[in-house]
Amino acid sequence: MKISKLKRDKIAEQILAHLYTLSPSSVFTSYIAKELARDEEFTKKILTDLKKKKLVLEIKKNPNGVDYLRRSRWKLTPDVFEVYKKKQAISKSTESHSEDLLY
């Protein structure tokens, strides 16, 4: 089954948002797939596309510096994290302003 570009982009956006909530930690592909109720291979494909666009970093070593044989951890690049952080601040600012208008 083929997924439209629009749906793929929305899933990629969900992945980025999820990684933002976990930042600065990095997480395994399997964890991301489980949280978003997606297939691991499909999730890895989207993460690889995001890596090519320089939106996420792939970590192939454990905290002791030993290479993972078949796994990867993922996290947002510092630049993408800052963009999300600013977006969240603007969003919260807009929400509080609209709440003020209600009262």
pLDDT of residue 101: 47
Q: Is the pLDDT of residue 10 over 50?
A: yes
- In 38-95, the DSSP E strands lie at 56-59, 73-76
Average pLDDT, the chain: 87
| Model pLDDT for residues 50-77, shown as the tens digit of each residue | 999 999 999 999 889 999 988 999 999 9
* pTM across the whole model: 0.81
Token output for 17:
């948002």
* Distances in whole angstroms, Cα of residue 86 to Cα of each of 20, 83, 90: 12, 5, 6
pLDDT of residue 3: 80
The percentage of residues in the chain with a pLDDT greater than 90, rounded to a whole number, is 62
Q: Look at domain 5-102 and name its CATH class.
A: mainly alpha
For residues 8-31, give the mean pLDDT.
93
